[in-house]
Amino acid sequence: MTHRSTAVSGASWPAPAKLNLMLRVVGRRENGYHELQTVFQFVDRCDQLWLDVRDDGVVRRLGALSGVPEDQDLTVRAARALQQATGCRLGADIRCDKVLPMGGGLGGGSSDAATTLVALNHLWGTGLSEDALSEIALPLGADVPVFVRGRAAWAEGVGERLEPVDLPQPWYLVLVPACSVSTRDVFCHPELTRDSSCIKLADFLSGDAVNDCLPVVRREYPPVAEAIEWLDRWGGGRLTGTGACVFARFEERDRALDACRAAPEALRAFVARGLNRSPLLDRLDQEIVSPSLIAAS
CB 169 within 8 A of CB 279: no
The residue from 93, 112, 143, 212 that is catalytic is: 143
- Contact by Cβ (8 Å): 255, 261: no
* Helical spans, DSSP H, in 96-160: 108-123, 130-137, 144-149
Is residue 28 within 8 Å of 34, Cβ to Cβ? yes
Sign of dihedral through CA atoms 178, 228, 192, 101? negative
Is 103 annotated to bind ligand? yes
| 5 has binding-site annotation | no
From 18, 52, 93, 212, the catalytic residue: 18
Q: Is 110 annotated as a binding residue?
A: yes
Residue 70: Cβ-neighbour burial (10 angstroms; 0-12, 13-18, 19+): middle
Whether residue 106 is annotated as binding a ligand: the answer is: yes
Residue 102 in marked binding region: yes
263: phi then psi, degrees, rounded to nearest 5: -60, 145
What is the CA 19 to chain-centroid distance, rounded?
A: 8
1 belongs to an annotated ligand binding site: no
Alpha helices in the chain (DSSP H): 74-86, 108-123, 130-137, 144-149, 183-188, 201-205, 214-220, 222-231, 253-262, 279-289, 291-296
* Catalytic residue flag (residue 47): no
Tell whether residue 9 is among the known ligand binding residues: no
Confirm whether 55 is a catalytic residue: no
Is 111 annotated to bind a ligand? Reply is: yes
Report d(CA 183, CA 191) in Å as an integer. Answer: 14
The reply to whether 207 sits in an annotated binding site is no
Is 22 annotated for ligand binding? Answer: no
Identity at 164, one-letter amino acid code? P
Task: Tell whether 67 is in a known binding site.
Answer: no
Residues flagged as binding site for ATP: 101-111
Catalytic residues: 18, 143
Residues flagged as binding site: 101-111
